[in-house]
């Protein structure tokens, strides 16, 4: 029987941070490649039923990934990740934000900082991604935008939310 | 739109989260809530005030009993967003699992 793969989604209210931790049944180099090569990112990054297309990628310190997530019903969501520091195959940091088709970052919307760490767990690989917003106001802007664009689903289960919130901020 | 700063501050405390969870099942009196948390009324009232200021709960006094109610709308925006983020990551992870299997990375 396959071991259950660890998954944590923790919200730290005081730091405006989400921590997403997930194990993969693969060796670290392969998991790293999936996070850092556009032809592989295109195959998994967008949540279903959306698909990902890379417009351009330059994976190095100071480089970027310009991509679009395409909704089968029409809408397209452009994004741009600006890489800060890359340490293969251990860690990278980047700023993720909304952009347009030309790659210009939307200056009105806050960007989130990603700090992604890869480590060996026996035969598996653990990826820990800390996504932080600068302030509660920044996070509020992103949430307001989501409401306006109708990008949010109708999940409204309080117990699920409380399970998520009842973590490190206690 | 809810003020996230207040809401975050409110929810960054275990007792206050427990009160929210309790009120999700229906209104309750303050003395009833305080008793369940084995807390003296004065210190418990501080938590209630923080929750009221954030707009997450409301309270009404009838006779000598003050009853608290959860204000569902205030929570909805934040709640939806975090739930959506979680759902997005779950979907991504499933996609990546299949990709890794296709690439021959599954070692189990």
- Of all helices (H) and strands (E), which one includes residue A69? strand A64-70
When scoring B71, B86, B94, B106 by the number of chain A Cβ atoms within 10 A, the one with the most, hence best to mutate, is: B86
Nearest beta carbon to residue A155 from set B13, B77, B87: B87
pLDDT in tens, A31-68: 999 999 999 999 999 988 889 999 999 999 999 999 99
When scoring A4, A7, A14, A26 by the number of chain B Cβ atoms within 10 A, the one with the most, hence best to mutate, is: A26
> Which residues sit opposite B41 in a β-bridge?
none
Does A155 reach chain B within 8 Å, measured CB to CB? yes
Does B43 reach chain A within 8 Å, measured CB to CB? no
pLDDT classification of A1: cutoffs 50, 70, 90: very low
For the complex shown, is ipTM > 0.85? no
Question: pLDDT: is B16 or A117 the higher one?
Answer: A117
Q: Residue A147 above 70 pLDDT? A: no
* Cβ pair B79:A31 closer than 8 A: no
pLDDT of residue A137: 84
pLDDT of residue A16: 87
For the entire predicted model, the pTM comes to 0.73
CA A120 to chain centre: 20
Nearest beta carbon to residue A47 from set B11, B92, B103: B92
Burial class from Cβ neighbours inside 10 Å (0-12, 13-18, 19+) for residue B8 reads buried
What does the alpha-carbon distance between residue A81 and residue A123 come to, in Å, rounded to a whole number?
30
pLDDT of residue B46: 93
Does B65 reach chain A within 8 Å, measured CB to CB? no
pLDDT in tens, A67-102: 999 988 888 989 999 999 999 999 999 999 999 999
| Tokens 């993969």 -> residue | A24
pLDDT of residue A20: 93
Closest residue in B to A4 (Cα) is B108
| Residue pair B81/A11 in contact by the 8 Å Cβ criterion | no
CA A82 to chain centre: 13
Q: Which residues of A touch B108 (CB under 8 A)?
A: 2-3, 25, 123
Q: Residue A152 above 80 pLDDT? A: no
Question: pLDDT: is A104 or B40 the higher one?
Answer: A104
pLDDT classification of A169: cutoffs 50, 70, 90: very low
| Positions in chain B short of pLDDT 50 | 1-2, 105-108
| Residue pair A26/A44 in contact by the 8 Å Cβ criterion | no
pLDDT of residue A129: 96
Q: Residue A165 above 80 pLDDT? A: no
Q: Which residues contact A119 (CB under 8 A, 6 or more apart)?
A: A28, A90, A125, A126, A128
Residue B103 has which token pair? 């690439």
Q: Which residues of B48-74 are buried (b: 16+ CB within 10 A; e: fewer)?
A: bebbeebbbbeeeeeeeeeebebbeeb
Q: Determine phi and psi for B103, rounding to 5 degrees.
A: -80, 0
Q: What is the maximum alpha-carbon separation in chain A? A: 49
């Amino acid at each position: 029987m396959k071991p259950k793969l660890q998954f944590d989604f923790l919200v730290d209210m005081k730091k405006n941070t989400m921590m997403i931790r997930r194990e993969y049944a693969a060796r670290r180099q392969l998991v790293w490649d999936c996070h850092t090569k556009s032809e592989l990112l295109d195959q998994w990054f967008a949540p279903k039923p959306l698909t990902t297309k890379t417009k351009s990628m330059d994976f190095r310190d100071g480089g970027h990934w310009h991509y679009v997530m395409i909704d089968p019903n029409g809408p397209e969501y452009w994004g741009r990740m600006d890489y800060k520091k890359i340490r293969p195959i251990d860690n990278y940091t980047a700023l993720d934000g909304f952009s347009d088709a030309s790659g210009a970052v939307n200056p009105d919307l806050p960007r989130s900082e990603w700090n992604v760490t890869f480590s060996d767990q026996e035969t598996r690989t653990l990826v820990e991604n800390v996504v932080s917003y600068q302030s509660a106001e920044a996070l509020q802007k992103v949430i307001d935008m989501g409401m306006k664009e109708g990008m949010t689903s109708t999940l409204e289960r309080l117990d699920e939310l409380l399970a998520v919130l009842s973590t490190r901020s206690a | 739109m809810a003020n996230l700063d207040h809401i975050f501050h409110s929810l960054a405390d275990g007792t206050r989260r427990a009160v929210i969870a309790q009120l999700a099942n229906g209104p309750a009196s303050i003395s009833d809530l305080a008793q369940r948390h084995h807390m003296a009324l004065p210190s418990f009232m501080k938590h209630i005030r923080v929750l009221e200021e954030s707009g997450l709960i409301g309270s009404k006094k009838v006779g000598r009993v003050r009853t608290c109610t959860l204000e569902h709308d205030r929570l909805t925006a934040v709640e939806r967003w975090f739930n959506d983020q979680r759902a997005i990551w779950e979907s991504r992870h499933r996609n990546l699992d299949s990709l890794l299997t296709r690439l021959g990375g599954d070692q189990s």
